[in-house]
């Protein structure tokens, strides 16, 4: 797998790069967000490891820019602090997962494996509900014929809601489907992802397909 590491601290970049290379990945390192964006626009990476603390564009802004340009590459964000605010900010900017520094290389590699397993190529099949179509193989979603770019996590959550359409999907089901097993995630992250999905698949189409069912979860309903 091709992995892009965006980290300005040489020692950290070297350690992480070496660990990923030993796992058999093809690793490239860049030291700024601007370079990471250029690299992603030119090369098909399977994963981007993005440090939050960067000179110039920080990791949040870099990730947002990648998403704005339509890249759905899985992004694992390395946050300075393992706190909820940074996690939510990271997810809000379009990252798929986050890891607080300091972390162990074993933990990093486990997260990388989990994200790569859940990468676009691992989903299979198509599902359609009303005017909404999702093709897992090509990671594309269309509504009323318009193409919508989603991140890996957004795609995973939407896929589950679509497969269970009309039924309430609990937060636990969403966590289990869209996040690596055993990873402790604050439940806010689900609200963030659902909010992003609403912004992408509902608002532009003047629809309200994803219902919040208080105390139980979410339900996709398209008439």
Positions touching Ca ion (CB under 5 A) are: 8-9, 51, 53
Q: What percent helix, strand, coil does the chain show, rounded to 5? A: 45, 20, 35
The H or E element containing residue 39 is: helix 33-42
Q: Min. distance of Cβ 53 from Ca ion in angstroms?
A: 4
Q: Min. distance of Cβ 118 from Ca ion in angstroms?
A: 26
The Cα 135–Cα 22 span in angstroms is 33
Residue number with CB closer to Ca ion (98 or 179): 98
Using DSSP's 3-state secondary structure scheme, residue 132 falls into strand
Structure tokens at 116: 């790569």
Residue number with CB closer to Ca ion (102 or 124): 102
Residue number with CB closer to Ca ion (99 or 207): 99
Q: Min. distance of Cβ 108 from Ca ion in angstroms?
A: 15
7 HSE (CA, 13 A, CB side): 24
Q: Min. distance of Cβ 12 from Ca ion in angstroms?
A: 7
Residue number with CB closer to Ca ion (8 or 23): 8
């Amino acid at each position: 797998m091709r992995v892009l590491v965006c980290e300005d601290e040489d020692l950290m970049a070297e350690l992480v790069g070496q660990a990923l290379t030993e796992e058999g990945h093809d690793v490239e390192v860049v030291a700024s967000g601007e370079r990471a964006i250029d690299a992603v626009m030119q090369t098909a990476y399977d994963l981007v490891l993005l440090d939050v603390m960067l000179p110039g564009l920080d990791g949040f802004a870099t990730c947002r820019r990648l998403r704005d340009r339509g890249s759905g590459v899985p992004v694992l964000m390395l946050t300075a602090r393992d706190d909820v605010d940074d996690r939510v900010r990271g997810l809000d900017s379009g990252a798929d997962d986050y890891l607080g520094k300091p972390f162990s290389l074993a933990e990093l590699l486990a997260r990388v494996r989990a994200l790569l397993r859940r990468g676009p190529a691992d989903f299979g099949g198509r599902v359609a509900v009303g005017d909404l179509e999702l093709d897992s193989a090509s990671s594309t979603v269309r509504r009323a014929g318009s193409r919508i770019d989603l991140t890996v996590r957004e795609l995973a959550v939407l896929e589950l809601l679509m497969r269970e359409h009309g039924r309430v999907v609990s937060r636990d089901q969403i966590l289990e489907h869209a996040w690596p097993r055993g990873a402790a995630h604050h439940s806010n992250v689900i609200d963030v992802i659902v909010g992003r999905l609403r912004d992408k698949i509902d608002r532009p189409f003047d629809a309200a397909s994803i219902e919040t069912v208080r105390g139980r979860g979410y339900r996709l309903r398209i008439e």
